[in-house]
Amino acid sequence: MALVNPHGKEKKLKPLLLTGAALEEEKKKAKSLNQVRISSRETGDLIMMGIGGFTPLTGFMTRADWEGVCKKFTMADGTFWPIPITVSTTKGQADTLKVGEEVALVSEENGELMATMKITEKYELSAKDKEFECQSIYKTTDMEHPGVAMVMKQAEVNLAGPVKVLSQGAFPREYPGIYLTPAESRKLFEEKGWSTVAAFQTRNPMHRSHEYLTKIAIETCDGVFIHMLLGKLKPGDIPSDTRQKAIDTLIEKYFVKDTVLVGGYPLDMRYAGPREALLHALFRQNYGCSHLIIGRDHAGVGDYYGPFDAQKIFDEIPAGALETKPLKIDWTFYCTKCDGMASMKTCPHGKEDRLILSGTKLRKMLSEGTEVPDHFSRPEVLEILRAYYAGLTEKVEIKTHKYSEGA
Active site residues: 203-204
CA 360/CA 348 separation, integer angstroms: 26
CA 209/CA 378 separation, integer angstroms: 11
Check: CB of residue 122 under 8 Å from CB of residue 157.
yes
SS3 157: strand
Check: CB of residue 30 under 8 Å from CB of residue 166.
yes
* CA-angle at 153, arms to 168 and 163, nearest 5°: 35
Helices (H) and strands (E) in the chain, counts: 14, 15
CA R_g for the chain: 21
Separation in Å, CA 36 to CA 94, 118, 127: 9, 12, 22
Under 8 Å CB-to-CB from 302, ≥6 apart: which residues? 144, 145, 399, 401
Look at the alpha carbons of 250, 253, 254, 259 in this order and tell me if their dihedral is positive or negative: positive
Check: CB of residue 159 under 8 Å from CB of residue 36.
yes
Closest CA to 323 of 233, 156, 197: 197
SS3 60: strand
CA 231/CA 359 separation, integer angstroms: 18
DSSP characters for 288-315?
A: T-SEEEE-TTTT--TTSS-TTHHHHGGG
Q: What is the distance, to the nearest Å, from the Cα of residue 339 to the centroid of all Cα atoms in its chain?
A: 34
Check: CB of residue 97 under 8 Å from CB of residue 103.
yes
Return the amino acid letter for 350. G
